[in-house]
Amino acid sequence: MDSREQITTVGDGLLVLAPAKINLSLLIAGKRPDGYHEIETIMAKIDWYDEILIQPGRQAGIELTCRGPNWAPAGEDNLVYRAAKSLLESCGLTPDVRITLTKNIPAGTGLGSASSDAAATLIGVNHYFKLDIDQKNLFESAAKLGSDVAFFLGGPLAFCTGKGEKVKKLDEIFNFTALLILPDVSVSTKMVYANYRHNRHLYKKLNIRIKNYILENRIDLAVKMCTNMLAESCFDLEESLAELKETIESLGIGPYCLSGSGSAMFCIIESGDEEEAREGMRKLADKIGCKSIIIRNNRW
């Protein structure tokens, strides 16, 4: 498991790690009066990170620079900028600050990286400027930025409901090693939800089983169900993902579960053996040419 801390001092700046997440299960309870869908999901942080570096400013206001292997929007279109601006303004501050986002985790993969970036920014700005904002107020700030942001302020394992903003930390330690598939496909969360057709009977059936497993502290059994009620909608919109999943599982690697609204998929390695995971990576690369990485649960 990764031994790095979330916050470290780097020269005159502060480096904050922003972990990705996977949905170990994801149920849709139905559509809410406000048009959003009510979800019930077990989310786990993983040891793959974007990085937020906060340093003294070189120009007036907030200066955001994005770099790394994956694209991210600059300026106020980025949740990092909006998170920093909202938190500082809530304290009546307008400092000159430079923020560098290193984008390692691709968007449109169901791994929550933009939400995690926002949460890491809230944590980092609070720490860097010694604002002493408590967890309750940080959660309130997170809820205004996006549904999943609050989860990344706590964790590493939680049961999230509502739009995802209602977070109940799960105290069970669920250690896992998994193979994460990263298809070269970006999926629109908005379109997946718009395309979703609710199955009330299926929801009720799955809800009872998963809630019982949580009460029994058997997250492992909930994970084995490989449940994601958005998967059908995602695969309907992106048939190539459905075909990829079928091809991968035909190699004897799996089952593979969709994370969030996709496109990333993961397979828990039950033995926890890293060599078994590496063998799976080699097989995927040789036979399909598919990109994958080994991930583990995060400890914070």
Q: Known catalytic residues?
A: 21, 148
Contact (CB, 8 A) for 258 and 109: no
Give the C-alpha separation, 127 to 208, whole Å.
41
The answer for 237, left when phi > 0, alpha when psi is -120 to 50, beta otherwise, is alpha
222 contacts 18 by C-beta, under 8 angstroms = no
Is residue 66 within 8 Å of 103, Cβ to Cβ?
Answer: yes
Note whether 196 and 241 are within 8 A (CB): no
Angle at 18 between CA 95 and CA 59, to 5 degrees: 25
Angle between helices 79-90 and 135-145 (to 10 degrees): 140
Q: Which of 289, 249, 282, 285 lies closest to 267, judged by CA?
A: 249
Terminal C-alpha separation, the chain: 11
DSSP H helical ranges for the chain = 79-90, 113-128, 135-145, 189-195, 200-215, 219-224, 231-237, 239-250, 274-287
